[in-house]
Structure 1
């Protein structure tokens, strides 16, 4: 009897986790490569699940695609690994279980981490390898991104008439991360030709059953569920799961009641969990009707309860010339000089004080805490830099929610310098997301949705700046990055410091088509050593030879060198204000008196050039 014919009349039990068992045995490497180097171990795990009552087993090929195997240098072994995996599963099954060729999702919680074209190429290669070895069907599992799953399901349905199981993974019981209700997502998969549709991974039995309560019985397909054993724990450097088999036994009938016809296990499950399902559901009759108890609620998100106290900078700089100044948080706990500088800059009439996020990976006082004090005590607008380097997705969202709660609405999303350049070169650089993805996630918060798609109850009101490095070989490519950042949601740009009038003109000519305004970065040089260090050692900064020569002439006169640095910056302000409304001054080594002087000069020059424009007072 065929796989689908059996599902039409009975509940089939699938196997559980492969990686969990290999990990528990001390194998912490590329699990898919073990199909070749340790075939006996893989076959024994398959046999253990069959002996426990599994009617269906899956090949050890979850990550056996080009994109994932290249992490281990095994991208040229796709065919060899997948072919061996199918042979191992068939040898273990001995016609006593159906063998499904498994294909896992690639995108995870970062939808734009891999392009659709890359996914198509990688999937086709793995698909053909599995089909050539004669699997009984395909299992597409652990897909957080619906677009990815729909794309490869469409390809698979065109290439084979074999049964296809398509399973999504949820971070929240009722919805996918792109806010698609789970019932709608599964209906779409059925419409694309999936024979079995369902859920796997991330959720244990409790939350997976809550999700299934929102899912109607398919019109033509069957329902599947592969819950995790529990939430993972982390002890002594190792992950482990606490869920026991009795808990699975207790939930088995509930899965049947929700219409599940194919029931297996995912992360943390073992043959004992599968045995519990098998023994509890042996000879059970599948349900053909069910009541959908919980319809997904339409999300109605309230506007932010935190009042925005300053107009967004992108609106200000579109209307009139605007000056913002970066003042780095101190590396030591004494903040007196920092606040002296902040007060001087306020008196200079700047529109915002910007606070870097451990620039150059050097540890400084939290810019969030200083930003809040600047706002509360000095009534100034803080612009908070957010680097992807130091926080994972959990930390980034928590940080942004905290900024919203404090009323700090202006942020600059940056990738951040790698940890190895800073105080602790052995520290980890997280980089869960890039600056592009961070911008997109902040925009999602502005819609009242968390990074995972969960309703936050309120919309944030972030104004999002993005970084622009014009000091590159190909300015055209840099501008393409700006266009991409605008697409992801950037409101305006702040550039790395520019040190020549020619570069300013080049920037203008290449960016004048953009709708998003640009704050041009300018930084006063202190002396020749400062200029050479910036030019040769700091990423993203290049200084014209003519300016380095001017500073070198004054190498033995530090006071005159600093004045020359001011004079150079003033001439660049003149040139920049002819082309741009935004000036971004960077304070070197807390020498705030320099940027305060330059800010005053920029305001005066703007008034002269723009016809005595009246600047708004920088007060709440």
Structure 2
């Protein structure tokens, strides 16, 4: 019996990440070279996955191609590295009944012209020949962002062998590939080219991978596969770490099975513990043979997306340039005992109607400022400074823009701040920014000439009327600079120390990530009551049990209590009730925030500005009640 025979009747679990475990062991160089220099370490990782129950393992040859090996002057070792990788995997699998897939990874990122198809063919042919010569049980073509490259590689591989071929793409956004094709379209093409298994791997965690597969029908003859990441990585103490736990992955394996996936493995951040949980979850599971497709809420066809665009980036930038005249942010908010900032994410397309409807609704609800992220999660959006100009001039709402260090070098950041000051956009929050690798533009680089501390200091230099070079700006800028404060850190005292360093750099106020623990809010107060700068506590309403699980397990810096998770889980199958429960939880948290802090920072989920408007009104009503109660006590 072969791998395809197994997949006909049941769900099969594959291994997880190789590079993650090597990285955790302190190795940060060419992982594939270890097939030659430290083979026992590679073999031990294979054995760990087999011990966890994996029935399919892949060779440590993902980047063992000519293009990537050149970075380490190893291109002449291509055949040796691939052959050694295949031998190591086969020796580890011997006697276990597990299948070994020879791995060939994508070369191109989002720049199709950076490597020619001729170069790709020559390199991949050498790699495929080397893997096949060592008796692998099939080929795994994984992490292909460019459809043309995968089609070329698959056609080449199919000419070389009749063994099973797994062909996996990495999608950038909402199920669309780099050339605009859908997953359904791409999987059909791959099936026609001879792929036995088609699927997704990398970039996405299990939540989004499951979500996008809901739109994909079962293939006619091939099988579906999914190798999700362990959520998004967080940068902690100088290293990237993934946070999705094994239990969550086990539950997610069942969700993937329900979408028709028969080969389930793991990609970046996954470990033998994740694999063991998946094995236990799908044990004895029969694959589904029929499926009802589910369109994503608000999804558009590519044609609709082009036709219905009504505004362009040029139209957004139509506001005139005015000199800086705004008050400092803490002066604005000091006029009353509570303030509300609401975040509304800039659109990811040129369709802006929903965004500006939200601005109007939030203005009517009584927000004090509207904050807009700067390409959050390293995904491109309409520039927040362009939207801020419209928000300020047309709607009379005070804009507060995030400025990330990731996307601009020293020159770009200084120029950007000059533009903000000249436009009279004086309120900002300085952030370092998520690494580019977590976003949907593979190959994009993170600049990080500055970090958030440096950016705060730079803004203060602007307020003194000078550039870092010492050159005069002619007039003083009038920036009020906010900074991020992580309320969910494991060691709160260290988090407060970091906050104090930002104050020393010049931070005027702070905004936190969402908090879902009432006790934590009280702890934050006692840990920061010596600090004079205002702290806006983050509140983001949950909209479903899935949303709660995703935030808790996959989003860096967010933690939900068991009680909150249980409350949302009660309404797993009732969307309206779940959304209402999410609002109830948010209002309870706001009550506690107002007891200890004067600032509330409401984050709008998925452009659902009606919820943020309702919560804004609730803040004002709750604050008024508290004021009346205090007045009666005084009397």
SS of the residue 1:109 aligns to = coil
**Which residue in the other structure is 1:286 paired with?**
287
Correspondent of 2:300 among 290, 297, 300: 297
> Is 1:178 matched with 2:176?
no
Instruction: State the partner residue of 1:69.
Output: 69
5+ residue gaps, structure 1: 311-332, 335-390, 408-417, 425-449, 454-620
Q: Distance in 2 between matches of 1:112 and 1:135?
A: 32
Contact 1:177 1:452 in 2 (8 A): no
Instruction: Confirm whether residue 11 of structure 1 aligns to residue 11 of structure 2.
Output: yes
Once the two structures are TM-superposed, the CA of residue 303 in structure 1 deviates from its matched residue by: 3.0
CA deviation vs aligned residue, 1:172-212 (integer Å, no higher than 9, x gap): 23211222111111111111110000000011110000011
Cα distance in structure 1, aligned partners of 2:315 and 2:265: 50
Q: State the SS of the aligned residue for 1:112.
A: helix
Q: Deviations over 1:96-147 (max 9, x none)?
A: 2100000111112222221111111111111111111111000000011111
**Residues 1:178 and 1:10: Cα distance change in structure 2 (over 3 Å):** same
1:79 paired to 2:86: no
> Secondary structure at the residue paired with 1:47?
helix
Aligned counterpart, 1:158: 159
User: Do 2:34 and 2:42's aligned partners in 1 also have CA atoms closer than 8 Å?
Assistant: yes
Residues 19-98 of structure 1: pairs in structure 2 closer than 5 A: 19-96=19-96, 97-98=98-99
Q: Give, in whole Å, the separation in 2 of the partners of 1:395 and 1:254.
A: 27
Q: Tell me by how many angstroms 1:11 deviates.
A: 1.1
Q: Deviations for 1:203-261, whole angstroms, at most 9, x for unmatched residues?
A: 11100000110111011000000011110111122111011001011112211111111
Query: C-alpha displacement at 1:95, in angstroms?
Result: 3.9
Q: 1:396 to 1:235 in 2, by over 3 A?
A: closer
Distance 1:174 1:13 in 2: 23
Match of 1:148 in 2: 149
SS at match of 2:104: strand
- Partner in structure 2 of residue 433 of structure 1: none
Equivalence map 1:211-230=2 (5 Å): 211-230=212-231
How far 1:392 moved relative to its partner?
A: 11
CA gap of 1:307–1:161, structure 2 versus 1, over 3 A, is closer
**Does the residue aligned with 2:220 lie in a helix, a strand or coil?**
coil
CA contact (8 A) 1:306 1:404 kept: no
| Larger-gyration structure (1/2) | 1
Q: Hey, what does 1:120 align to over in structure 2?
A: 121
Aligned equivalent of 1:168: 169
Q: Secondary structure at the match of 1:50?
A: helix
Residues 1:222 and 1:399: Cα distance change in structure 2 (over 3 Å): closer
Q: Cα deviation per residue 1:382-431 (whole Å; 9 max; x = unaligned)?
A: xxxxxxxxx99998956867568869xxxxxxxxxx999x999xxxxxxx
3-state SS of paired residue (1:225): strand
Query: In 2 relative to 1, CA 211–308 (structure 1 residues): closer, same or farther, beyond 3 Å?
Result: closer
Task: Return closer, same or farther for 1:73/1:119 CA change in 2, 3 Å cut-off.
Answer: same
CA shift in 2, pair 1:236/1:11, >3 Å: same
- Matched with 2:363 is none
Rounded Cα–Cα distance in structure 1 between residues aligned with 2:376 and 2:76: 32
Structure 1 residues 284 and 304: alpha-carbon distance in aligned structure 2, compared to 1, 3 A threshold: same
Q: How many residues align?
A: 340
SS in 1 for 2:289: coil
Structure 1 residues 297, 278: closer, same or farther in 2, change over 3 A?
same
| Structure 2 gaps, min length 5 | 318-322, 325-373, 391-407, 414-438, 443-635
Q: What is the alpha-carbon distance in structure 2 between the residues aligned to residue 37 and residue 159 of structure 1?
A: 29
- 1:250 is matched with which residue? 251
Paired with 1:401 and 1:155, the residues of 2 have a C-alpha distance of 45
**Cα distance change on mapping 1:22 and 1:419 into 2, 3 Å:** same
Other structure's SS at 2:100 match: strand
The verdict on how the C-alpha distance between 1:132 and 1:53 changes in structure 2, with shifts beyond 3 A counting, is same
Structure 1 pair 52–405 and aligned structure 2 pair: CA distance change class (3 A): same
Give the 5 Å matches for 1:483-498: none
1:255-275 alpha-carbon deviations (Å, 9 max, x no partner): 111111100000000000000
Which residue of structure 2 aligns with residue 530 of structure 1? none
Q: Give the distance between the partners of 1:128 and 1:75, measured in 2 at CA.
A: 15
Q: Given the superposition, is the C-alpha separation of residues 277 and 400 from structure 1 closer, same or farther in structure 2, using an over 3 Å criterion?
A: same
In structure 1, how many angstroms separate the alpha carbons of the residues matched to 2:285 and 2:264? Answer: 13
Cα distance in 1 for residues equivalent to 2:378 and 2:209: 26
Whole-angstrom CA distance in 2 between matches of 1:309 and 1:24: 46
| Residues 63-72 or 108-117, more deviating | 108-117
Structure-2 residue corresponding to 1:110: 111
Deviations 1:56-103 (A, max 9, x none): 000000000110000000010001100110110011001421000001
